[in-house]
């Protein structure tokens, strides 16, 4: 599932390609494309101009020259793509947006093979769409409060991996970057937040920010063609992964084989030597 670096890569691509364009056509082409809670059909945003693209955690939205915004969640395989002449067309188009800017025309599509992603027309509160109101700020948000976030982690008595995945504590981190963060911090995924000092929690947040920054620079992580950027290109951070998906491979730090465990219906990858549960 795309995490913050992948969604941010898509956001940046959309800014460069569709900002300033007018939506002259908006079509939902699949019954699951439009979120049921959408306050209006997609065609309601026809005539709107795209002012900017914003993001909170894994939620992305088009800022329009009207009170409503167009929100998108990529789900497991959602993609925004610009159809280009001479290139194969996307095979799983769920929504289409016809765009114009002066004499230029572009066709933006929301492609989603597994149909867990969605788009939605929503109102905002303090600039944030209705569906993202419960989502905490991420470390790249200009109003991110580090001390407040440390307190949120410290007050919980849950596994640190579970806490990192909780989007109401700090958003943006999913399974891939949680494993990479904890490997860098030398913390076992099953360690309780109650057993971590605030200094250690701050270090974990710092590593999460670091690993996601590096992933953004590499265009995100692509294991298959389910995640690609707006130009149809894959990300390259997979090549830098130290723990996630590296079962039985040597730890880059000490050489011990990486282990994989499962809890909470998710897999976790860690080094049993560097990331001991009990010290």
Q: Is 41 labeled as catalytic in the residue annotation?
A: no
Alpha-carbon gap, residue 277 to 279, rounded angstroms: 7
- Which tokens belong to 148? 């407040």
Alpha-carbon gap, residue 220 to 215, rounded angstroms: 5
Which one is catalytic: 2, 5, 129, 189?
2
Which one is catalytic: 58, 137, 159, 200?
58
Are 163 and 256 in contact by the 8 Å Cβ rule? The answer is no
Which one is catalytic: 49, 101, 186, 266?
266
Q: Is 266 labeled as catalytic in the residue annotation?
A: yes
Phi, psi of 172 (to 5 degrees): 105, -25
Q: Which of 168, 97, 104 is nearest to 136 (CA)?
A: 168
Q: Which runs of consecutive H residues, i.e. helices, occur in 118-261?
A: 146-155, 160-165, 175-185, 198-217
Alpha-carbon gap, residue 111 to 113, rounded angstroms: 7
CA torsion angle 213 220 5 70 (round to 10)? 150
Alpha-carbon gap, residue 19 to 125, rounded angstroms: 22
Alpha-carbon gap, residue 266 to 157, rounded angstroms: 19
Q: Is 2 labeled as catalytic in the residue annotation?
A: yes
First to last CA, the chain: 33
- Which tokens belong to 253? 């730090």
Q: Is 3 labeled as catalytic in the residue annotation?
A: yes
Q: Which of 259, 168, 240, 164 is nearest to 209 (CA)?
A: 164
Catalytic residues: 2-3, 58, 266
């Amino acid at each position: 599932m795309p995490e913050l670096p992948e969604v941010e890569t898509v956001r940046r691509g959309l800014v460069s390609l569709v900002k300033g364009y007018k939506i002259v056509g908006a079509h939902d082409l699949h019954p699951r494309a439009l979120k049921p809670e959408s306050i209006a059909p997609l065609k309601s945003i026809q005539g709107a101009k795209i002012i900017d693209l914003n993001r909170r955690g894994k939620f992305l939205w088009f800022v329009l020259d009207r009170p409503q915004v167009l929100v998108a969640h990529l789900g497991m395989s959602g993609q925004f793509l610009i159809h280009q002449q001479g290139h194969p067309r996307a095979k799983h188009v769920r929504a289409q947006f016809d765009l114009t800017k002066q004499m230029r025309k572009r066709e933006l599509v929301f492609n989603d093979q597994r149909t867990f992603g969605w788009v939605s027309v929503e109102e905002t509160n303090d600039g944030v769409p209705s569906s993202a109101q419960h989502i905490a700020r991420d470390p790249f948000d200009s109003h991110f409060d580090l001390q407040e976030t440390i307190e949120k982690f410290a007050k919980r008595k849950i596994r640190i991996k579970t806490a990192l995945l909780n989007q109401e504590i700090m958003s943006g981190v999913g399974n891939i970057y949680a494993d990479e963060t904890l490997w860098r911090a030398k913390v076992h995924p099953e360690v309780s937040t109650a057993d971590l000092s605030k200094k250690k929690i701050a270090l974990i947040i710092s590593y999460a920010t670091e690993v996601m920054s590096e992933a953004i620079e590499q265009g995100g992580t692509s294991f298959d063609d389910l995640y690609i950027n707006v130009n149809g290109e894959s990300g390259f951070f997979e090549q830098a992964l130290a723990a996630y998906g590296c079962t039985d491979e040597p730890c880059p730090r000490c050489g011990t084989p990486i282990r994989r465990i499962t809890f909470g219906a998710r897999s976790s990858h860690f080094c049993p030597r560097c990331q001991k549960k009990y010290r």
